[in-house]
């Protein structure tokens, strides 16, 4: 009796387990593939959103820098005009 049980268990582990594994593999493979395809676009969308957020941050930083440079340029132009007015007034004062 024991020999028969040992033979049945041995046959089950040598043939039954691999067959069960193959059946599970072929049964679950389409399910896993469908899940991967369904979740793939969401991951790509999150990555795209993250890249766009980084790009917007860089653009906003560039915009701020250009605004600061424009303010400095306007201030320099105002200062240049004031110097020209003073220089023009002094030159007119010397001529008279």
Task: Walk along the chain (96 residues) and give the pLDDT tens digit of each residue.
Answer: 888 898 888 888 888 888 888 988 888 898 888 888 888 777 788 888 999 999 999 999 999 999 999 999 999 999 999 999 988 767 656 655
Q: Is 80 within the bounds of a domain?
A: yes
21 located within any domain: no
- Whether residue 18 is contained in a domain is answered as no
Both structure tokens of 34: 């469908």
Structure tokens at 46: 């999150």
In a domain, 75, yes or no: yes
Q: What is the count of structural domains for the chain?
A: 1
> Does 54 map to a domain?
no
């Amino acid at each position: 009796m024991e020999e028969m049980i040992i033979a049945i268990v041995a046959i089950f582990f040598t043939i039954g387990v691999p067959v069960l594994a193959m059946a599970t593999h072929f049964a679950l493979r389409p399910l896993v593939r469908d899940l991967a395809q369904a979740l793939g676009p969401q991951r790509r969308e999150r990555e795209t959103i993250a890249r766009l957020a980084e790009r917007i941050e860089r653009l906003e930083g560039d915009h701020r820098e250009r605004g600061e440079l424009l303010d400095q340029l306007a201030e320099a132009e105002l200062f240049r005009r004031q110097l020209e007015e003073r220089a023009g007034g002094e030159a007119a004062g010397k001529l008279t």
